[in-house]
Amino acid sequence: MYVVVPGPDEVSRSFAKSLADSIKGSLCEPAYKQFPDGEQYMRLTCDVKGADVIYVKTMLPSQDSSLVLSALAADSARSSGAERVTLVAPYMAYARQDRQFLPGEPVSIRSVLRALWAAGFSHMATVEMHKPDSLRQFPGASVNVRPYVFMAEVLGIRSSNYVVLSPDLGALERAKMLAEHLKVPYDYIEKERDRITGQVTMKVKQLDVSGRDVIIVDDIISTGGTVSKAAEILRDQGARSVTVIVAHAVLAPGAEERLRSAGINNVFAANTTPAQGSFVRQVDVAPLVARELAGIMGVSNNEQ
């Protein structure tokens, strides 16, 4: 028996409902409250004894609060006799501090993943962690769900006129993954900095984008600066259209207007963070997460 337990926020609740539908599990809405001193409280309102409990909690915004709630949920499920407790974190907190950049810094994602394991989670899934290798720090079974091909399928993207680009060499694997599915070329955008003026220029490494429909693939949009600059350059080079597909839209103030004014036609993001504005369209990737959970949990879902 699978019991899906959502966090208190709307993103987690919506994601949990879709996930429960996909695996034919039951949905258990817990009781949440916050004490006057800011401490949090949660209580499971259903019987989970002997069940596989899946706690769904996106970790943006309020990353610290989300981590505490996740730990409380794991302890509650274990104390109530759950057979197994799995965390589904559509957006994973602290993933970008994946190494020690300066002496004395922690590797934050390592600390967080070990804490979640210690709290009682034996399995976990997340959508496109910044560096997927970071999941190796989680002692239990885990899966990094890569949403780009699934999103393209849902959106009906199929044309030989597409080219797929990553905003830099480091993200080329994401572009390659989608391009191979679409059977179209892929490339990355090269950045060069003038050593005298400090000015940064960007260009497509090899491909000619004139007359082509371009898809830019990345894991996250925050300020939108890099993607917007890339879109402007692609337009100058004759691209017919520019579409952006990202796992997480974490839009800083001004980002939506920046994306609009850069000549980007569409921005599609997975439903891992709160929806912001009208320009970014979200795609439900919970059915894909359900499918990927099968690999680490033996979960069945109604798409198989």
Cα 8 to Cα 219: distance, rounded to the nearest angstrom:
25
Residue 6 is encoded by which pair of tokens? 């959502």
3-state helix, strand, coil in the chain (%, to 5): 35, 25, 40
Q: At what angle do helices 148-155 and 172-182 cross, to 10 degrees?
A: 40
Closest to 1 measured CA to CA, from 65, 44, 46: 46
The Cα–Cα gap between 112 and 43 comes to: 23
Q: What dihedral do alpha carbons 139, 147, 84, 13 form, nearest 10°?
A: 130
Classify residue 30 by its DSSP letter: -
Best CA proximity match to 143, nearest among 155, 151, 152, 134: 134
* Residue found under tokens 């905003």: 167
- CA–CA separation, 105 vs 92, rounded Å? 19
Q: Which of 131, 176, 191, 203 is catalytic?
A: 191
Continuous segment of H or E residues that includes residue 213: strand 213-221
Residue located via tokens 């950049």:
101
Say whether 191 is catalytic: yes
**Angle at CA of residue 90, ends 85 and 96, nearest 5°:** 110
Cβ–Cβ < 8 Å for 189, 200: no
**Backbone region of residue 298 per phi and psi (left: phi > 0; alpha: psi in -120 to 50; beta: other values):** left
Active-site amino acid positions? 191
